[in-house]
Structure 1
Amino acid sequence: MTKYWIGVASLNHVMGGVEGGFSQLCHGKEAPLKRMQPGDWLVYYSPKQELGSDEKCQRFTAIGRVKGADVYPFAMTETFVPYRKDVDFFPGAKQVSLSAVSQLEAWQKYRSSLRYGHFEIDKDFFLMLAEQMGLPMKYES
């Protein structure tokens, strides 16, 4: 059964994943990636432009579908080896401001989950985000 997820990461990290076709969540932890299965959908929310910066982004910034089941380590440096999972991102996704959904009742039940960095959302909320992001899909579960 298809599941729908939100991942939280700075915009520059999200764009690196989009360009590379992978997801890396919660500072490289393996567990959140293992929860996602092939065919699941992932929407990224970016609170900031860059990690450690005060410059806000506050937009949903990428949307894609999980490709494979494999979670694999990737050595970014000798001392930092985060885990990744392959994702097919929609290249034409529009970024959607948090203010566009912040008043929706559906968002109210999820907003406190942002601090976890990765959480499941329901199909209806996902479809609303996908539509706003311009994802051309005829959805079948």
Structure 2
Amino acid sequence: MTNWINTVSRDHVERAVRGRFTQANHGKPHMLRKMARGDWIVFYSPRTEYPKGEPLQAFTAIGQIVDDEPYQDETSPDLQPWRRSVDFLPCTETPIKPLLEELDFIEDKQRWGYKFRFGVFRIDDHDLEVIRKAMTE
């Protein structure tokens, strides 16, 4: 099992939770193909809205991948993003700053936001547990 972080604005995360899906990299499939059923995915939202919402810097959702392959959604004739199905946990939006010292994936605590520029990336079990505990307890 692999643990992932997906960097997505809160307004897009809210849509994903309602629709029980995730998408990444503006609807491209390459990172979604690396995910497997049972993988955990945490959503980090730098902003409230895409592209220029207010700064948020919080974990906004957490869930598990529940399908075996990405699928293409027909949102509109011009937009057909690739997605994965997710079962989301009940959780509380959680600011990242109080967790920075505990998170191993953030190597440079002064420039902690850099890692999120990659959009989707892997984290280890320790970091997943730190985030999950903060979001669900």
Alignment TM-score > 0.5, same fold: yes
One-letter code aligned to 1:93: C
The reply to whether residue 45 of structure 1 matches residue 44 of structure 2 is: yes
Alignment gaps of 5+ in structure 2: none
One-letter code aligned to 1:64: G
Deviation at 1:103, TM superposition (A): 3.1
> Percent identity, aligned pairs only?
31
CA deviations on 1:78-99 (whole Å, 9 max, x unpaired) are 1111100001001x20111011
Aligned twin of 1:7 = 6
The whole-number CA distance in structure 2 between the counterparts of 1:32 and 1:20 is 19
Aligned twin of 1:23 = 22
The whole-number CA distance in structure 2 between the counterparts of 1:105 and 1:82 is 31
* SS, match of residue 75 in structure 2: coil
One-letter code aligned to 1:115: R
* SS, match of residue 6 in structure 1: strand
The whole-number CA distance in structure 2 between the counterparts of 1:99 and 1:105 is 10
The whole-number CA distance in structure 1 between the counterparts of 2:9 and 2:37 is 24
* SS, match of residue 102 in structure 1: helix
The whole-number CA distance in structure 1 between the counterparts of 2:16 and 2:40 is 15
8 Å contact from structure 1 (residues 101, 107) kept in 2: no
Aligned twin of 1:116 = 118
Alignment gaps of 5+ in structure 1: 136-141
Identify which of 79, 94, 97 aligns with 2:95: 97
* SS, match of residue 108 in structure 1: coil
Change (3 A) 1:97 1:107: farther
For normalisation by structure 2, the TM-score amounts to: 0.90
Deviation at 1:66, TM superposition (A): 0.5
8 Å contact from structure 2 (residues 36, 69) kept in 1: no
Deviation at 1:52, TM superposition (A): 1.5
For normalisation by structure 1, the TM-score amounts to: 0.88
Aligned twin of 1:139 = none
Give RMSD over aligned pairs: 1.5
One-letter code aligned to 2:63: G
Aligned twin of 2:135 = 133
